[in-house]
Chains A and B, each alone.
Chain A
Amino acid sequence: MDGEPELALQPPPAPKPRASAQGFGWEEVSREVVEFFASIKLAMFLFLILAVTATIGTVIQQNERPETYIKEYGEQAYRWFTRLGLTDVYHTWWFTSLLGLLCVNSLTCFYKRFPAVWRSMQQDKVNVSLSFIKNMKHSAEISAAGTKEYIGERLVRFLAEKGYRVLAKNEASGVSLYATKGIMGRVGAHMAHLSATVIVLGGLIGSLWGFQDFGVCMEGQTYHIPRGNFDLHVDKFWIDYYENGAVKSYNSTLTVIDQGSPALTKTITVNDPLVYKNIWFYQSSYGDAWDRIEVARLNIKDKETDKVLATVDLEWQKEKVIENLGLKLTATDFVADFAFNSSEKKVYSKTVEHANPALRLALNERGTLEATPWVFYHYPDLFEIQGSKYSFELVGYQPKKFTGLQITRDPGVNIVWIGSTMIVVGITLSSFIYHRRLWAKIVPQHDGVILHIGGNTHKNQIDFQREFKRLIQHVETKSA
């Protein structure tokens, strides 16, 4: 086991019995498999390969449209991207498998190593050989005056004061002593090992049974939420600004309507969602609607002279009467990016951008002429209204804002939080508490005793060294 850690919890390190050459039974295979999956080398490999592959998705834009990739990288590259899944790295089979392997790896590690930690919490070897003590990383040999019982007691008291758990055995040949502290550090590490699987499990549950939708919603409308079997009414949407004009927050007041009656009203904002029946509604974005406006400003001109006769503000779908011109006007339709479907004879908005805005009017002139012309923001003189004395110019409009709601249910999220707590608590324990063990033998001589003491820790050697030095000094000064 070259390169494997010096983690033996059971002193002295027992030589491993080698499997006999002919024996290649189930036991050997399963031992090899456990050995492989519990190996730290595999863990290091997985950590690093995950780190490397995770960078891909931060360099190549993820989940874009094919044209975007082809434009940036060329067609050949794009074909490779789709083959390897580089346009959605984090959901490819191989990335998921790496995560799965990490779980198997850490679980196997737990299975193989935790029992030893557990046993050492219950009991440990008190009696070890002298050479074991002498060969420890930190060891010392001190002659002292006094009986072995006296020195032993001193040592036990000192270590117990320092928070060590001490076991001692008094025999004719000498006192054996074992002291340990900080096993929780090791328990913490294993807690971290279990947590990886818990988190991945939570993520899996979320992706299997959760959903994530996005809704573009208008003030005053009611929307059915099929997966929750209730309705959502958008009471209000507004934006708050800082003094300097920057957006401070955007907010929607929402009312949940369950079986016909209002069940819950809440104003949501970024960072403060509404939760109903485990479905979360987030204030995710806002924008200009592409199919309706608040108000439009029109110039009414004389067709002959092109003189502006009046400027009116039309509210959305509200009839406006202009007495002196004998006009009744209503803004009935709006598209942000005008397009015409000739087979269905329908006007629609090509995109959500306000690239070619057009407003449709319902016009009644002196009770005789009725028309429904489209008026274009960018092309004021495109169409002429037959028989009318006037022409209309759309000089501006205020778009209606929509509120962008993210609608999410994630049944795995609490499991993820449990795993997260485990990982943070586990890693913190293992970082700040370190496991140390001391063994001592106090051997009587003709004029006092010789104290052999040795200790080790799996990390934090410098602090342990200081502690060990202080311990030795304590014994020396007391016995001097």
Chain B
Amino acid sequence: MLKSLFLFDMTFWLYLAALALYIAYLFVRRPVMQFAPAGHPVEAYDDRDEGWAGQLGQVATLVTVFGWIVNSGALFMRAYERMQLSGTFAPWSNQFEAMAYVSWAIILGYVLLEMRYRIKAIGAFVVGIGFIAMGAASLLPYRYQTAEPLVPALNSYWIYIHVSVTLTSYAAFAMAGGLGLMYLFKERAERKGKSGGIAAAFPDLETIDELGYKAIMIGFPLLAFGIILGAMWANYAWGGYWSWDPKETWSLIVWLIYGAYIHARMTRGWEGRRAAIYAIFGFLMVIFCFWGVNFLLSGLHAYA
């Protein structure tokens, strides 16, 4: 019974190992990046990883991918257990499962990003956030971790799509938050005039900035879609598409915050440092929406 819990545990340790490897990867010495006159790097980022760095990076990626596979297995297992127990399978039906799903989505997003842009240094930040999500989930008391059957209001096919879409948007915002943090690190190192050391492993500021923006541009429509799916569900379950319940209000607040961000991007001076700080702030609001509301505020959504 509840074999999924074992797999979730294993996911936690694998992500921890991956995070340690990515951090170690940052500290390996490497030559300073060569810049073309226009300020753009001449080569792909990983091409500079010789010897140790390259091997560490590869192991880190492998462990991450393996962790993600175990994470997927845990979610599948949980879905199966739910099916046996109560006939619904959504493996994101309580706070614990939701967090395990978010970390699954963060890591998936990271792996895709690494495949496309080949910048392993991001792993230390983004895999870090995925790990923290998984870790916070496993810190929840045991009774939150088990697959209790759903209360009547949640027992609906809407849970499959509404919850997963919303949680995926959170993962995108988490990614943006991690990139924001990375931007600030790199910028600090540059201000201090250090071009070697850890900072050498980082991509240039503009790339970090753009990737962060991209993550938000993925999260923003997903959150809009998630909110609207929630409204449709509410229209079936509660008899009104919008009732200003704290959870839906907070997801709207988060959406408005990112709405301000994407418009701010179009005005001068809202890239770079300011955008990075804003992305971190936005992510903190997401955390509140995801956690704080469930535990601090009361409302219709407080099932978890």
With a cutoff of 8 Å between Cβ atoms, the chain A residues found around residue B224 in the complex are 423-424, 427
Chain A: number of interface residues, binned into ranges: 35 or more
* Pairwise interchain contact A273-B152, C-beta atoms closer than 8 A: no
With a cutoff of 8 Å between Cβ atoms, the chain A residues found around residue B257 in the complex are 47-48, 51
- A26 to B232 alpha-carbon distance, docked (Å): 46
* Pairwise interchain contact A408-B240, C-beta atoms closer than 8 A: yes
- A461 to B205 alpha-carbon distance, docked (Å): 13
With a cutoff of 8 Å between Cβ atoms, the chain B residues found around residue A271 in the complex are 152-153, 155-156, 158, 233, 236-237
Report if B268 contacts A (CB, 8 A): yes
* Pairwise interchain contact A250-B152, C-beta atoms closer than 8 A: yes
Report if A43 contacts B (CB, 8 A): yes
With a cutoff of 8 Å between Cβ atoms, the chain A residues found around residue B158 in the complex are 271
Scan A358-388; emit 1 where CB is below 8 A from any B CB, else 0.
0000000000000000000000000000000
Closest to A239 in B: B152
* Pairwise interchain contact A54-B256, C-beta atoms closer than 8 A: yes
- A373 to B111 alpha-carbon distance, docked (Å): 76
- In chain B, positions 216-261 with a C-beta closer than 8 Å to chain A are 217-218, 220-221, 224-225, 228, 231-233, 235-242, 244, 246, 249-250, 252-253, 256-257, 259-260
Scan B280-304; emit 1 where CB is below 8 A from any A CB, else 0.
0000000000000100011100000
With a cutoff of 8 Å between Cβ atoms, the chain B residues found around residue A406 in the complex are 238-239
With a cutoff of 8 Å between Cβ atoms, the chain A residues found around residue B235 in the complex are 413
Please pick, from B117, B149, B211, the residue contacting A248 in the complex, using a CB distance under 8 A: B149
Report if A59 contacts B (CB, 8 A): yes
With a cutoff of 8 Å between Cβ atoms, the chain A residues found around residue B40 in the complex are 465
* Pairwise interchain contact B267-A41, C-beta atoms closer than 8 A: yes
Report if B1 contacts A (CB, 8 A): no
- In chain A, positions 246-274 with a C-beta closer than 8 Å to chain B are 246-250, 269-273
* Pairwise interchain contact B239-A427, C-beta atoms closer than 8 A: no
With a cutoff of 8 Å between Cβ atoms, the chain A residues found around residue B293 in the complex are 58
Closest to B211 in A: A462
With A58-B249, A270-B155 known as contacts, the answer to whether A48 contacts B236 (CB < 8 A) is: no
With A48-B260, A431-B217 known as contacts, the answer to whether A5 contacts B236 (CB < 8 A) is: no
* Pairwise interchain contact A431-B153, C-beta atoms closer than 8 A: no
* Pairwise interchain contact B244-A90, C-beta atoms closer than 8 A: yes
Report B256 CB to chain A, min CB distance, Å: 4
With a cutoff of 8 Å between Cβ atoms, the chain A residues found around residue B220 in the complex are 427, 431
Closest to B297 in A: A58
Report A58 CB to chain B, min CB distance, Å: 4
With a cutoff of 8 Å between Cβ atoms, the chain A residues found around residue B217 in the complex are 431-432, 459-460
- A408 to B243 alpha-carbon distance, docked (Å): 13
* Pairwise interchain contact B266-A458, C-beta atoms closer than 8 A: yes
Scan A63-92; emit 1 where CB is below 8 A from any B CB, else 0.
000000000000000000000000000100
Report if B30 contacts A (CB, 8 A): no
* Pairwise interchain contact B244-A57, C-beta atoms closer than 8 A: yes
B residues at A contact (CB < 8 Å) = 40, 86, 117, 148-149, 151-153, 155-156, 158, 206-207, 210-211, 213-214, 217-218, 220-221, 224-225, 228, 231-233, 235-242, 244, 246, 249-250, 252-253, 256-257, 259-260, 263-269, 293, 297-299
A residues at B contact (CB < 8 Å) = 2-7, 40-41, 43-44, 47-48, 50-51, 54-55, 57-59, 61-62, 90, 203, 212, 242, 244, 246-250, 269-273, 280, 282, 284, 406, 408, 410, 413, 416-417, 420, 423-424, 427-428, 431-432, 458-462, 465
Q: Can you identify 21 A-B contacts, CB atoms within 8 angstroms?
A: A3-B269, A44-B260, A47-B256, A48-B256, A55-B253, A58-B299, A212-B239, A270-B152, A271-B153, A282-B237, A282-B239, A406-B238, A406-B239, A408-B239, A413-B241, A416-B241, A420-B231, A423-B224, A427-B224, A458-B266, A462-B210
